[in-house]
Amino acid sequence: MRLVSEFLSCVTAFQNAVRRDDEAAVQRELTRLRHGFRQAFIEDIDMAAGLLADVLAEVPPGSDAITAVLIGACVERGADPRVCAQPILERVSNQVHESSSVAVLDVMSPVAGLRYRRSACGFGTSAGLR
């Protein structure tokens, strides 16, 4: 009898990295998850999808998309989509809302005469709006 698969061990290590806010470990564990996915036991896929979905809201931007793709791949291999859908849809909704707010500021700032500066990631912030 197998206690914990290598794939589920990777999922747990990923969860721990996310909760510690350790971006280097998050990236390392995501790589391990992507490489280990093909060899994962079917019995572990459903559990892995739920565990990944549980931490999706805490995953740093950029890595969240890869995590969502992994969750989707788990669903394609038989994981229960009802367990995974809500966290993914919430994350997408939040990202769309945040990006639309940035787009509005980008368009409105020259019109409103606000001081506008671009952040390092290309998104802008306005000194006149909060």
Sketch the domain layout of the chain as residue ranges: 6-96
pLDDT above 70 coverage of the chain, percent: 73
Q: What is the pLDDT of residue 118?
A: 45
> For 61-69, what is the mean pLDDT?
92
- Tell me the C-alpha distance between 76 and 74, whole Å: 5
**pTM of the prediction?**
0.72
> CA–CA separation, 20 vs 26, rounded Å?
9
- Reported as a single tens digit per residue, the pLDDT across 5-51 is 899 999 999 999 999 999 999 999 999 999 999 889 988 999 999 99
